[in-house]
Amino acid sequence: MQATNAQDEQKKTEEMILRIKNGEDGLRDVLIQDNWKHIMYLVSKMTGKVAYDSYEFSVALQAFNEAIDTYDTAKNAGFSSFSNLVVNRRIIDYMRSMGKYKNEYPETYFEKDGESKVLDIPDQAQQIQLRDVEIQEEILKFSRDLQSFGISYPDLDRISPKHKETRLLCASMAKMLIDSTQLTDRLLAGRRLPVAELCAYFNLSRKTVERHRKYIITLCLVMVSDMEVIKSYLESFLKGETR
């Protein structure tokens, strides 16, 4: 029941955004008001301060507006996740530009009834928040890149070769492509795997390369991404250090 309610709410929000983009700009204020408390929560979580009347809250409202304007149901996850990312990123950008990130908040406070309560929120916690935002952004970007090649996350388990030798061969083919600027450009710009070149270089049949086309493309996208943990694993796999 909760999942159904969440889906209904998401559908309602997406319909409202579509109407806003079609000219019903009055609905923008309605959507912002519906999310007002949540935006304040995001600001407080990122800054460790009461959000109301802070400049960071103004930045967050502008970011939420930006999320409304740039949200694409075909490319992005649900609007709630997307808007959270946009708001968090813009707050971090602002804090960094003002030299506030890491410096202004070794100790933070919440004011209530004119009384300040000091809270210890260590620098490390803010760094973890930043990394969480960055990881979510990387995953969303990777998902969009996969979709541009007709690949989805649910496909990944199905297209992964069962045998280690085959996975290693595919990883070697992906690395050969990425090591060539010309072939990488052809792959990313043309959205087509350079099958002929792979067949010639590895002395393979076209059928063999085509069978693992999506998996090779996925590995290439990982290699050119900012997902350092997965990239490190791939490098170790190519060196025979991991199974």
Q: Does the structure show a pLDDT above 80 at 106?
A: no
Residue 243 within any structural domain of the chain: no
Q: Which residues span the domain enclosing 225? A: 153-238
Residue 147 within any structural domain of the chain: no
Q: Does the structure show a pLDDT above 80 at 78?
A: no
Instruction: Look up residue 229 and give its amino acid.
Output: V
Residue 164 within any structural domain of the chain: yes
Q: Does the structure show a pLDDT above 50 at 215?
A: yes
Asked whether residue 26 falls in the same domain as residue 73, the answer is yes
pLDDT tier for residue 155 given thresholds of 50, 70 and 90: confident
Q: Which position has the token pair 């690395």?
A: 175
Residue 144 within any structural domain of the chain: no
- As for how many domains the chain has, the answer is 2
pLDDT at 63: 92
Residue 223 within any structural domain of the chain: yes
pLDDT at 187: 92
Mean pLDDT of the chain: 78
pLDDT tier for residue 110 given thresholds of 50, 70 and 90: very low
Residue 13 within any structural domain of the chain: yes
Higher-pLDDT residue of 9, 90: 90
Q: Does the structure show a pLDDT above 90 at 113?
A: no
Asked whether residue 44 falls in the same domain as residue 159, the answer is no
pLDDT at 222: 86
Torsion, Cα 111 117 123 125, to 10 degrees, reads: -80
Asked whether residue 112 falls in the same domain as residue 27, the answer is yes
